[in-house]
């Protein structure tokens, strides 16, 4: 077999190079010699032009950075525990934030005039108590954390820790306490119609994609402090 016969077909072609062997070579050589001088002249002219332009400091430039302010854990937003000195007792073993006490009791009285008997089930809960509820009691049901979070917030992520949340039941139908059947009671129907007058809002509607529907859970938004506490919740609810 003739190995050299077709050797050219495996060879890499030589790269083509351009040499200054043409009539214009003298001009090109001069251009290369004087190009640094031309560059210097251009640079001076450019600097003079820039000198007449007001430069904007970099620290004045505004850059839009998209940041996520959603600090949810298992669908729940974080909440700070309200100080003890801001809590007041409204019923046996039920404390609430002092800002909402008057509105809450007034709402209960107004409902009573309409033949509706509201009962308060749970108000302020400390982070320690929420820790016990989330990790101890819920584990009895053999549920994973994500399952528990559908019906109970992790410690530090419960509206109850703010003192501005209240769980409400119907005194005439106690079997509906903490049950979605509460929505069928006269108490819930009255709240849906009148709670906003007293600055209360249902926290977890049916269309909440993170947390199960809780018709018994209401939060107070009738003070500046309360509005600040639930600002993130209201913003995130719009994007749900």
DSSP string, 197-222: GGTEEESS-TT-SSS---TTEEEE--
- Say yes or no to pLDDT of 118 above 50: yes
Q: Of 2 and 151, which is predicted with more confidence?
A: 151
Spatial distance between the Cα atoms of 96 and 174, rounded to a whole number of angstroms:
21
Q: Of 211 and 166, which is predicted with more confidence?
A: 166
pLDDT band, very low/low/confident/very high, at 136 (cuts 50, 70, 90): confident
pLDDT band, very low/low/confident/very high, at 146 (cuts 50, 70, 90): confident
Spatial distance between the Cα atoms of 61 and 75, rounded to a whole number of angstroms:
36
Q: Is 211 in contact with 154 (CB distance < 8 Å)?
A: no
Lowest mean pLDDT among 14-18, 146-150, 229-233: 14-18
Span 157-172, mean pLDDT? 97
- Say yes or no to pLDDT of 8 above 60: no
pLDDT band, very low/low/confident/very high, at 149 (cuts 50, 70, 90): confident
Spatial distance between the Cα atoms of 219 and 99, rounded to a whole number of angstroms:
12
Calculate the average pLDDT of the chain. 77
Lowest mean pLDDT among 40-44, 130-134, 135-139: 40-44
The 3-state DSSP class for residue 134 equals helix
- The neighbour count for residue 151, using CB atoms within 10 Å, is 15
Highest-confidence segment of 76-80, 93-97, 136-140: 93-97
Spatial distance between the Cα atoms of 151 and 23, rounded to a whole number of angstroms:
89
Q: Is this model's pTM higher than 0.85 or not?
A: no
Contacts of 8 (CB under 8 A, 6+ apart): none
Spatial distance between the Cα atoms of 34 and 45, rounded to a whole number of angstroms:
17
- Say yes or no to pLDDT of 40 above 60: no
pLDDT band, very low/low/confident/very high, at 213 (cuts 50, 70, 90): very high
Q: State the CATH class of domain 84-239.
A: alpha beta
Span 142-156, mean pLDDT? 77
């Amino acid at each position: 077999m003739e190995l050299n016969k077709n050797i050219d077909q495996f060879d890499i072609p030589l790269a083509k190079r351009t040499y200054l062997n043409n009539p214009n070579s003298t001009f090109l050589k001069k251009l290369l010699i004087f190009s640094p001088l031309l560059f210097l002249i251009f640079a001076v002219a450019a600097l003079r032009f820039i000198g007449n332009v007001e430069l904007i400091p970099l620290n004045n430039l505004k850059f839009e950075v998209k940041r996520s302010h959603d600090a949810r854990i298992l669908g729940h937003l974080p909440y700070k525990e309200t100080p003890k000195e801001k809590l007041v007792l409204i019923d046996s073993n039920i404390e609430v934030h002092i800002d909402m006490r008057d509105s809450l009791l007034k709402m209960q009285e107004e409902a009573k005039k309409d033949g509706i008997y509201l009962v308060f089930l749970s108000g302020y809960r400390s982070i320690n108590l929420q820790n016990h509820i989330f990790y101890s009691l819920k584990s009895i049901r053999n549920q994973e954390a994500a399952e528990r979070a559908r019906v109970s917030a992790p410690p530090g992520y419960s509206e109850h820790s703010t003192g501005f949340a209240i769980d409400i039941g119907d005194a005439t139908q106690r079997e509906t306490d903490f049950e979605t059947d509460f929505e069928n009671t006269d108490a819930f129907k009255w709240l849906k119609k009148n709670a906003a007058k007293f600055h209360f809002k249902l926290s977890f509607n049916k269309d909440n994609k993170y947390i199960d529907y809780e018709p018994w859970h209401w939060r107070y938004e009738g003070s500046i402090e309360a509005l600040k506490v639930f600002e993130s919740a209201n913003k995130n609810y719009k994007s749900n």
